Structure 1
Amino acid sequence: MKTKVIGLTGGIGSGKTTVAKMFETLGVPVYYADDEAKKILYLPEVVEELITVFGAEILQNGQPDRARIAALVFNDKEKLAALNGIIHPKVGEHFSNWAAQHATHPFVIKEAAILFESGSYKLCDAVILVTAPIEERISRVMQRDGTTRDQVLQRMANQWTDEQKKPLSQFIIESSALEATQMQVSEIFNFLNIIEK
């Protein structure tokens, strides 16, 4: 039986990483696409592509400077699309290799912030969307990243809204109270295990 790929996503500050960790404690392999994308940024062939597209000013001591790249693409949808065009195919390739190593599991989880925006949700067998009230998300990110409210809102503006994501999601987790979130995770875990048997 083919291992199912379950996408896990949610807007910034929604609590998707917390949910991913809960699945991990239940023995489900979780692939953190955003963490892998950060590592891929430093591969020599990727650095070359970045210089070709964005110029050498994105480097700091010969390495890509994530802050400079972020500033460059933040309010420029074309440049953001160009960056994603370099990174996402490589993340996809890396994920395929990773998934093959976990083929004995009934399902694996691919956690990605821009699962819908990148179009990679189409490669998933089902999608779990993690949501939380906007104000709660804003305060979580401000505390976590030491950013301003405006900076958080700017980052949110680059992501799809929950209303856009919900019709394309098979499961929705409302992540407010930790205990309630854990219960929702357990229900989805049990459901996915039952349908895979």
Structure 2
Amino acid sequence: MKIIGLTGGIGSGKTTIAHFFRDLGIPVYIADKEAKALMNRSKVIKRKLIQLFGKQAYIDGQLNRSFIAQCIFNNKSLLSKMNAIVHPKVASHFRQWLKKQEGPYVIKEAAVIFENQLQSQYDLIITVVAEEKNRIKRVMQRDGSTEERVKAIIKNQLSDEEKIQRSDFVIENNNLRDAKKQVLNIHNCILKKIAQELR
């Protein structure tokens, strides 16, 4: 079964695109969502994150997301240490999930495929891009962030140009109807590739 990576910068609309693939009957794994769930569920992760960030990392047993976000913002060393705790657990959870899936391929939505040099884990990679003004607006509405903060996050991430160069497919997500058509085209393209390989 093929593993298709779905990535893109903050506010590009990766999860919306992932849902379009799900509507086509493709199993979808959203790494960020699963990571958050594991950070609340796994005793090992909890213990290690408290060691790393202190007791403030959790409030009433739930991850203190705003505190963690504040700690890792502009602190790459702390972010790397956190990722070293969380990512292996997510990878293991994904492998278990994958065993239960059926179909020609699965979509794994992950924000930092290229940043963490994880390209080799995927058969093909789709990058979602959107105009910066749309991205900023989406994140401000979703997270209640300020424009300055969103711009700072975008600046910290790998540029769309760099991601596009390393991707097999690109989806421009500025208009949902257009994006849906692009998803269908890519879906058919992937199925065609798989059929050719099976010949």
Q: Please state how far the C-alpha of 1:156 moved relative to its aligned partner.
A: 1.7
Letter in 2 for 1:154: A
Structure 2 match to 1:149:
147
Hey, what does 2:63 align to over in structure 1? 64
SS of equivalent residue, structure 2 residue 107: strand
Q: Report SS of the residue matched to 1:152.
A: helix
Matched, 1:194 2:197: no
1:55: how far off?
2.4
Q: Is the 1:88–1:118 Cα contact (8 Å) retained in structure 2? A: no
SS in 1 for 2:3: strand
Q: Percent identity?
A: 44
Which region of structure 1 is more displaced relative to structure 2, 185-194 or 132-141?
Answer: 132-141
Q: Matches of 2:88 and 2:66 in 1, distance apart?
A: 22
Conservation of the 8 A alpha-carbon contact between 1:47 and 1:63: no
Q: What is the CA deviation profile of residues 47-74 of structure 1, one whole-angstrom value per residue up to 9, with x for unaligned ones? A: 1111222222323234431111111111
Q: Provide, for residues 158-189 of structure 1, a one-character-per-residue CA deviation record: whole Å limited to 9, x for no partner.
A: 32111221121000011112221111111110
For 2:55 and 2:174, locate their aligned partners in 1 and report how far apart those are by CA, in whole Å.
43
Note the residue ranges of structure 1 that are not aligned, 5 or more in a row. Answer: none
Q: Distance in 1 between matches of 2:136 and 2:80?
A: 25
| Inter-partner Cα distance in structure 1 for 2:183 and 2:56 | 44
Please, what TM-score do these two structures have when normalized by structure 2?
A: 0.92
Letter in 1 for 2:139: V
Aligned-residue Cα RMSD (Å) equals: 1.4
Match runs of 1:92-171 below 5 Å: 92-102=91-101, 104-171=102-169
Partners of 1:83 and 1:31 in 2: how far apart?
21
Equivalenced residues, count: 194
Q: Which amino acid aligns with 2:119?
A: Y
Range with greater deviation from structure 2 (21-30 or 46-55) = 46-55
- Aligned equivalents of 2:54 and 2:73: distance in 1? 16
